[in-house]
Amino acid sequence: MSESGKTVVVALGGNAILQPGQVGTFEEQLVNVDTAMRRIAAMVAGGWEVVLTHGNGPQVGNLLIQQELASGQVAPMPMDVCGAMSQGQIGYMLEQTLQNHLVKRRLKTPVVSILTQVAVDARDPAFANPSKPVGPFYDETRAKTLMLEQGHAMREDAGRGWRRVVPSPEPVEIIPREAIRDLVADGVLIICSGGGGIPVVRGRDRALSGVDAVIDKDLAAMRLALDVEAEVLMILTDVPQAYVDYNTPEQKALSQVTESEMRAYAAAGHFKAGSMGPKVEACLRFTAAGGRSIIANLKDVVPALEGNAGTHIVPD
Ligand code: ADP
Ligand code: MG
């Protein structure tokens, strides 16, 4: 795995931080993150320049619940601020555990996490169709109050209660991209764009302001990989590969797939929207721009980089 000087953008799925069934104590999250960072340190030891990004679903969900439940005593913060809080929380844990693993290996790579705003287009069609459920479940009365008083879009979620839905617009511009590029060139290991970034829009005077939305973290990782001119985009998740006919008796793992084959599988609906769908889309766009894209299990980082695990999307 000696790949001196090559840049890889690694996107960590939510499971690397908090696993289903865990309650989400700090200790649980720290153990998960520590295991993940041991694997990232192995990539650094192999000579890769790593740029790290991560999901924030469970963490930002918990912050939104805290805002709601404490709203009688503490003024609730809007979604963009909760996104920033989650980047701080997760960035801190990743930064510390990764630094510790690098020191153990006598590597001097500095690790820095960056609070990252990501611009979206205020005219993105997603704003007309909020689709991403976030935060706590509400009963109908409270849901209708929030719709009236706060203007939130709320939707009934399969008998489980009402939930707020927000737009999921495309990432257009990672705001501090020049700074990120310079730091990467200086050999700094950057953690950025967590949770897809803090969504902001540019006004007519180019001024930035936060919006209530969620940017898909895999699409933001693709944007980041293009911006830092990475050789590889690696999306790490909780399944070893992408499959066609997933969860059916015909299920078939994809090891190496060409761009046009993968596009055809995606068009045929093999990859679920909101989970594998955006990963495949991110990889397709990165491969189309000339990069190498990999979807793999967090456990398999090293063999996946060597081409011996995961799903590899290659040019036609
Ligand atoms: P992450 O937190 O890593 O982004 P997601 O839950 O969003 O994880 O996406 C990974 C999940 O995608 C897998 O756990 C799997 O259940 C689901 N999935 C949907 N379609 C497929 C497919 N065709 N192949 C593999 N996994 C799939
Ligand atoms: Mg996901």
Smallest-distance ligand from the CA of 247: 1
Say if residue 2's pLDDT is above 60: no
Phi/psi for 169 (5° steps) reads -75, 165
Q: Which of 1, 50, 3, 75 is closest to 189 using CA atoms?
A: 50
CA 104 to ligand 1 center in whole angstroms: 33
| pLDDT tens, residue by residue, 240-249 | 999 999 999 9
Tokens read off for 13: 């799925």
Residue 63 CA to residue 76 CA, distance in Å, equals 10
Say if residue 232's pLDDT is above 90: yes
Say if residue 160's pLDDT is above 90: no
Q: With pLDDT > 90 as the criterion, what percentage of the chain qualifies?
A: 90
Over residues 11-18, the mean pLDDT reads 91
In the structure, what pLDDT confidence band is assigned to residue 305 with cuts at 50, 70 and 90? very high
Ligand 1 atom nearest residue 236's Cα: 3
Residue 194 CA to residue 57 CA, distance in Å, equals 10
Say if residue 150's pLDDT is above 70: yes
Over residues 202-230, the mean pLDDT reads 96
Task: Kindly name the residue from 32, 83, 91, 279 that is annotated as catalytic.
Answer: 279
| Topology annotation, domain 7-118+174-314 | Carbamate kinase (3.40.1160)
In the structure, what pLDDT confidence band is assigned to residue 3 with cuts at 50, 70 and 90? low
Please tell me the least confidently modeled range out of 10-24, 81-95, 160-174, 194-208.
Answer: 10-24
**Domain segments of the chain as ranges:** 7-118+174-314
Smallest-distance ligand from the CA of 251: 1
What integer pLDDT is reported at residue 173 of this predicted model? 97
What does the mean pLDDT of the chain come to? 95
In the structure, what pLDDT confidence band is assigned to residue 4 with cuts at 50, 70 and 90? low
| pLDDT tens, residue by residue, 135-147 | 889 999 999 999 9
- Residue predicted with more confidence, 2 or 96: 96
CA 288 to ligand 1 center in whole angstroms: 22
User: Does residue 19 have its Cβ closer than 6 Å to ligand 1?
Assistant: no
| pLDDT tens, residue by residue, 30-72 | 999 999 999 999 999 999 999 999 999 999 999 999 999 999 9
Say if residue 260's pLDDT is above 60: yes
| pLDDT tens, residue by residue, 164-208 | 999 999 999 999 999 999 999 999 999 999 999 999 999 999 999
Ligand 1 atom nearest residue 57's Cα: 2
| pLDDT tens, residue by residue, 71-80 | 999 999 999 9
List the beta strands (DSSP E) in the chain: 7-12, 49-54, 111-113, 117-119, 132-138, 154-156, 162-166, 173-174, 189-191, 198-202, 208-210, 232-237, 242-244, 252-254, 256-258, 292-297, 311-314
